[in-house]
């Protein structure tokens, strides 16, 4: 039997709205779940998805993608890539899987909300496929690391991380809860798919795939490229929704959602992807600096996506561009210095050669971040290891839940952005974090940061042991230097040479 061409029936088949008679429209699509923009069903029926795919087409393509990624994994399972990989690269995998795998699974629920509650039939179609994408991503990113669990306990955090109160996971959950777990269908399409996925998953998945291939980890490179092809499809769910909102005079509401989600995504990537690209990935395998990636994928491409859509650049764009030079260096120094509290082993990434690269990519690195590292390196060389660990908590931001930081050394500019709200003093890492909070204070005000929890006596005993217990970090899972400080030998040798020259 001859089949009709897809485009001869697709538009008719997706016309699935009807006029409810047994219940009201609000009962069928409760505004808090569907998106209360006061627009009737008819306004949403013009939603035209740019990427049209039918269910049989989807299944066929996904089957091929799965076959590709799983067969590469099977072929390379005995290649001992994991055993022979640079420890910095293993840390990349551990950080990635822990932060991402279960979040993907959670995203399936956000896609399902669009699938059921969006008033736009086309969006319901696309997010049906998007929901299945996210289930696939969750399953793959749990299955792939599983073969390494028996070799390295930290790999178990691929599954475990999301259920813990580890500080980086509190930050990740706070962000994803805000943009996808507790928003209506239309807001999810704007905040998760347009702002986060269009803008940022390209960074994590394309950038990291390039680094993985360079590092010889073809299993990981194939896995995340396979995922990215799904992302680039379902990331387009938000665009047509934005067009409808703008056409119906709702630009301000749409813009605010983009601005909040984009900022949160930036902060999360500054702690997750920034250190990976500029410090953990072995120097010889780095394709571009984190800032260069950001400039290519976010500044150039996302900027265009925003303006093409008829939106403005976020009001904080200049602050964002400035932060590209600095924030992730602080996030790296912070997660490295507080390394017992992460589930991977951070690579310091500060050998003389690596510092020369950092200075080239970020002029002024040595007189700022380098000054802090100089003190750290002296302690390692001198054997003052107790001084290389913290004895208190960094103060974290009540919006992004990440340390409040700035540039150290000769250009010291660290600043708190406080806010008194209903008798409680909140602290923020930037003017933008504080602005996000102020857009809907009651939404965020009740949340307790890791520092608030410590001060409330929820972490006992009130020391590192208590903190590790609270974060569910078991013995053998605590982070420490990825290379066991072997990199410091260069500095020890340099010091001996200097001593000999002065003798």
Given 108, 170, 171, 451, the residue binding other proteins (CB under 8 A)? 451
Q: Are 273 and 340 in contact (CB under 8 A)?
A: no
Listed as own residue / partner, the contacts of 60-66 with beta carbons closer than 8 Å and 24 or more positions apart are 62/132, 62/133, 62/136, 62/230, 65/226, 65/229, 65/230, 66/136, 66/140, 66/226
Among 388, 438, 472, 490, binds other proteins (CB under 8 A): 388
Smallest gap from Cβ 397 to other proteins, in A, equals 9
Token output for 272:
């997750």
Helix (H) or strand (E) holding 419: strand 417-421
DSSP labels, 314-335: PTTHHHHHHHHHHHHHHHHHHH
Cβ neighbours for 33, distance < 8 A, ≥ 6 positions apart: 113, 116, 117, 184, 185
Q: Give min distance, CB of 356 to other proteins, in A.
A: 21
Among 28, 213, 305, 372, binds other proteins (CB under 8 A): 372
Any contact of residue 337 with other proteins (CB under 8 A)? yes
Structure tokens at 238: 């938000």
d(CA 375, CA 357): 20
Q: How far is the CB of 176 from other proteins (least distance, A)?
A: 24
322 lies in the site for other proteins, by CB under 8 A: no
Pairing of strands 424-428, 417-421: antiparallel
Closest distance of CB 493 from other proteins, Å: 22
Q: From the CB of 76, what's the least distance to other proteins, in Å?
A: 40
Binders of other proteins among residues 24 to 53 (CB under 8 A) are none
- If one asks whether residue 493 binds other proteins (CB under 8 A), the answer comes out as no
Binding mask 410-449 for other proteins (x = CB under 8 A): --x-xxx-x------x-x----------------------
Residue 158 or 396 having the CB closest to other proteins: 396
Kindly indicate which of the ranges 348-356, 370-378, 470-478, 490-498 contains the residues binding other proteins, using the contact rule CB under 8 A: 370-378
374 binds other proteins (CB under 8 A): yes
**Does residue 114 contact residue 130 with C-beta atoms inside 8 Å?**
yes
Residue 333 interacts with other proteins (CB under 8 A): yes or no: yes
Whether the Cβ atoms of residue 403 and residue 331 lie closer than 8 Å to each other:
yes
Instruction: Select from 115, 358, 407, 471 the one that contacts other proteins (CB under 8 A).
Output: 407
Q: Please tell me the distance from the alpha carbon of residue 68 to that of residue 71, in angstroms, as a whole number.
A: 5
DSSP 8-state secondary structure symbol assigned to residue 249: T
> Which of 408, 437, 482, 487 lies at the binding interface for other proteins (CB under 8 A)?
408
403 near other proteins, rule: CB under 8 A:
yes
Shortest reach from residue 365's CB to other proteins, in Å: 12
Q: In angstroms, what is the minimal distance from the CB of 298 to other proteins?
A: 24
Nearer to other proteins, 384 or 460 (CB): 384
CB atoms within 10 A of CB 476: 9
Tokens of 366: 């040595």
- Radius of gyration over alpha carbons of the chain, in Å? 24
Nearest CB to other proteins, comparing residues 77 and 465: 465
Length of the chain measured in residues:
503
The secondary structure element, H or E, covering residue 502 is: helix 488-502
Region near other proteins per CB under 8 A, out of 9-17, 229-237, 358-366, 386-394: 386-394
Q: For other proteins, give the closer residue by CB, 455 or 494.
A: 455
For other proteins, the binding residue among 29, 176, 376, 487 (CB under 8 A) is 376
Query: Which of 87, 310, 340, 390 is in the footprint of other proteins by CB under 8 A?
Result: 390
**Which residue shows structure tokens 């965020």?**
444
**Under rule CB under 8 A, residue 379 binds other proteins:** yes
Site for other proteins in 199-238 (CB under 8 A): none
> 328, 275 in Cβ contact below 8 A?
yes
The gap between the terminal CA atoms of the chain, to the nearest Å, is 93
CB of 394 to other proteins, least distance (A): 5
Cβ proximity of 87 and 345 under 8 Å: yes
Torsion sign over Cα 487, 492, 493, 498: positive
* Residue 488 lies near other proteins (rule: CB under 8 A): no
Q: What is the largest CA-CA distance in the chain?
A: 95
Give yes or no for residue 363 binding other proteins (CB under 8 A).
Answer: no
From the list 455, 474, 486, 494, which residue makes contact with other proteins (rule: CB under 8 A)? Answer: 455
Q: Does 395 bind other proteins (CB under 8 A)?
A: yes
What distance in Å separates the CA atoms of residue 73 and residue 148, rounded to the nearest whole number? Answer: 12
| Closer residue to other proteins in complex, CB, 359/371 | 371
Number of residues that bind other proteins (CB under 8 A): 37
Spell out the SS3 assignment of 285-302.
Answer: HCCCCHHHHHHHHHHHHH
| Site residues, other proteins (CB under 8 A) | 330, 333-334, 337, 369, 371-372, 374-376, 379, 384, 387-388, 390-395, 403-409, 412, 414-416, 418, 425, 427, 451, 454-455
């Amino acid at each position: 039997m001859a089949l009709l061409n897809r485009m001869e029936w697709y538009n008719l088949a997706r016309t699935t709205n009807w006029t409810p008679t047994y219940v009201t429209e609000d009962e069928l699509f409760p505004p808090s779940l569907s998106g209360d923009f006061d627009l009737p069903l008819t306004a949403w029926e013009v939603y035209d998805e740019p990427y049209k795919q039918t269910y049989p087409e989807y299944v066929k393509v996904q089957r091929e993608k799965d076959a590709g990624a799983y067969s590469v994994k099977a072929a390379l399972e005995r290649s001992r890539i994991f055993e022979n990989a640079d420890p910095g690269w293993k840390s990349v995998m551990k950080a990635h899987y822990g932060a991402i795998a279960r979040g993907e699974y959670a995203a399936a629920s956000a896609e399902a909300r669009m699938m059921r509650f969006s008033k736009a039939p086309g969006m319901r179609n696309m997010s049906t496929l998007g929901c299945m994408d996210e289930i696939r991503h969750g399953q793959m990113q749990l299955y792939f690391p599983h073969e390494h669990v028996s070799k390295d306990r930290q790999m178990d955090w691929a599954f475990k991380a999301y259920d813990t109160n580890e500080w980086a996971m509190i930050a990740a959950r706070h962000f994803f809860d805000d943009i996808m777990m507790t928003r209506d269908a239309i807001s999810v399409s704007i905040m998760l798919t347009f702002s986060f996925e269009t803008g940022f998953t390209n960074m994590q998945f394309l950038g990291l795939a390039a680094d993985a291939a360079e590092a010889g980890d073809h299993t990981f490179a194939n896995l995340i490229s396979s995922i990215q092809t799904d992302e680039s499809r379902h990331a387009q769910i938000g665009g047509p929704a934005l067009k409808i909102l703008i056409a119906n005079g709702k630009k301000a509401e749409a813009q605010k959602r983009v601005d909040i989600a984009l900022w949160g995504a930036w902060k999360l990537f500054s702690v997750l992807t920034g250190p990976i690209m500029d410090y953990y990935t072995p120097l010889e395998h780095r394709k571009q600096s984190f800032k260069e990636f950001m400039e290519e994928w976010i500044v150039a491409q996302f900027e265009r996506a925003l303006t093409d859509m008829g939106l403005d650049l976020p009001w904080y764009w200049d602050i964002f561009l400035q932060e590209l030079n600095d924030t992730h260096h602080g996030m790296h120094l912070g997660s490295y210095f507080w390394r017992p509290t992460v589930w991977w082993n951070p690579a310091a990434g500060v050998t003389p050669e690596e510092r020369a690269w950092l200075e080239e990519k970020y002029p002024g690195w040595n007189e700022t971040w380098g000054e802090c590292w100089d003190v750290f390196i002296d302690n390692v060389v001198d054997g003052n290891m107790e001084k290389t660990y913290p004895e208190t908590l960094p103060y974290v931001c009540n919006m992004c839940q990440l340390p409040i930081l700035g540039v150290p050394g000769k250009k010291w500019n660290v600043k708190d952005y406080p806010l008194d709200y209903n008798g409680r003093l909140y602290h923020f890492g930037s003017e933008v974090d504080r602005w996000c909070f102020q857009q809907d204070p009651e939404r965020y005000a009740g949340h307790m940061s890791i520092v608030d929890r410590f001060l409330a006596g929820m972490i006992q005993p009130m020391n590192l042991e208590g903190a590790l217990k609270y974060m569910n970090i078991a013995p053998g899972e605590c982070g420490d230097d990825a290379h066991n400080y072997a990199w410091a030998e260069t500095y020890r040798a340099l010091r001996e040479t200097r001593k000999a020259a002065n003798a």
